[in-house]
Amino acid sequence: MRRLATADPGFAAAFRALVESAREGAVAVEAEVAAILARVRAEGDAAVADLTARFDRHTLPATGWAIAPAEIDAAIASLDPALLAALDLAAARIEAFHRAQMPQGLDWRDGAGVRLGLRWGALDAVGVYVPGGKAAYPSSVLMNAIPARVAGVGRVFMCVPCPGGQRNPLVLAAARRAGVDAIYPVGGAQAIAALAFGTGRIGAVDRIVGPGNAYVAEAKRQVFGRVGIDAVAGPSEVVVLADAANDPALVAIDLLAQAEHDEAAQAILITDDAGFADRVAQAVAAELATLPRRAIAGASWSRQGAIIVLSDWDEAPALVDRLAPEHLELLLPEPEAMFARIRHAGAVFLGRHCPEALGDYVAGPNHVLPTARTARFASGLSVFDFLKRTSFLQAGPAALAAIGPAAVRLAEAEGLDAHAESIRRRLAQA
């Protein structure tokens, strides 16, 4: 774990190294992924079945290309009613928040009499990828599929790897609650290829969303352009701003809540009190000893974690903006004041009683957020990822006469004579 202080002479260089550090080891999968994509595109279902048998150890013709409604019913019936109630609460809150985002169209006439407008429309089909290897994430199902449904997407398909043919009941329940149309027990780059190109049994989509491993991320990168994607996500990250009035154990567990995701995840504490920084570091060590995922969280904290001690809280906004974190916790007495001074963060959690983990599950805003400093220019997943805009305009003779001559002059200046002529001839007839 790195320990930095803004008062140290070498702070600028040390902080720059922290900001620019690469947290993912280079994994050369481009060629292998390209081969998988090409094979699925050429061979369709046969390639998907063969690759699924090879990587996930189950035979699609035997286990089923799509998970049957009766199997989903049985999975739901096997779950604890209290867990289903929690899932339903999360789904309802996510749906309500995203429904409030739905935009209104535009339609007006300007001073020249030209009618101008903007019409929103949903995508026809979306594919949701849900990881299913080391862990299962029903929350990712809700966060990716519900906004698509709220936006009005016509068909929502889901791919989830099922190693050994095993299905996670809560993932199936989440898919049913989110309104997924079909669930395919297919994972990896072959799932992304199937969704991008279509295979016969698996329909092609217009956008693919959802996290995955290095092969999934690279496959999404390579099919982008043929289909839309949400992002090529990196490891999770959190920055916590906390003063000495906080409980060190609570701050420690918030840091570890991100560290336990992955060895490459990053958790950073920023505080103005060196003694409090020491107490949090000690609390992290104590909490690590109790965590089932302590090997992962410990590796993340020791390799990627950092504590920054400020000379003054006025230094914090510029540091946060350079980090542009996926998650930002403001455990401060007046979090709104600090929030107003920060420009770059994927999601911000205000106050001592609002941990980031709340946003992962039940708060309502989406937990699919920009990582690796992309919050400088990107936003979290929303209904806008499943909508597209179509502009329209209408001009009668008077409106054409008002603005047409200027268009003719600009077209002539660009050397596009047909452009100019298409307007000039209509002006002559007006």
The catalytic residue positions are 326-327
Please give the distance of CA 337 from its chain centroid, rounded to a whole number: 27
Are 233 and 216 contacting, i.e. CB atoms less than 8 angstroms apart? Answer: no
Give the pair of three-digit tokens for residue 13.
Answer: 């260089």
| Backbone torsions φ then ψ of 182, nearest 5 degrees | -150, 140
Give the pair of three-digit tokens for residue 50.
Answer: 């063969």
Match 């590796």 to its residue by tokens. 299
Please give the distance of CA 380 from its chain centroid, rounded to a whole number: 6
Residue 311 vs residues 4, 11, 275, 305, 344: alpha-carbon distances, Å: 11, 12, 13, 20, 22
Match 């996500």 to its residue by tokens. 233
* Gap between the Cα atoms of 69 and 253, Å rounded: 39
Residue-by-residue DSSP string for 324-366 = --SEEEEESSSHHHHHTT----SEEEESTT--HHHHHHTSSS-
* Gap between the Cα atoms of 295 and 181, Å rounded: 38
* Gap between the Cα atoms of 416 and 159, Å rounded: 48
Under DSSP, is residue 161 helix (H, G, I), strand (E, B) or coil?
coil
* Gap between the Cα atoms of 267 and 225, Å rounded: 33
| Backbone torsions φ then ψ of 196, nearest 5 degrees | -75, -40
Give the pair of three-digit tokens for residue 409.
Answer: 């002059």
**Could you give the dihedral angle defined by the CA atoms of residues 228, 156, 209 and 95, in that order, rounded to the nearest 10 degrees?**
120
* Gap between the Cα atoms of 108 and 125, Å rounded: 31
* Gap between the Cα atoms of 48 and 334, Å rounded: 54
* Burial of residue 43 (number of CB atoms within 10 Å: 0-12, 13-18, 19+): middle
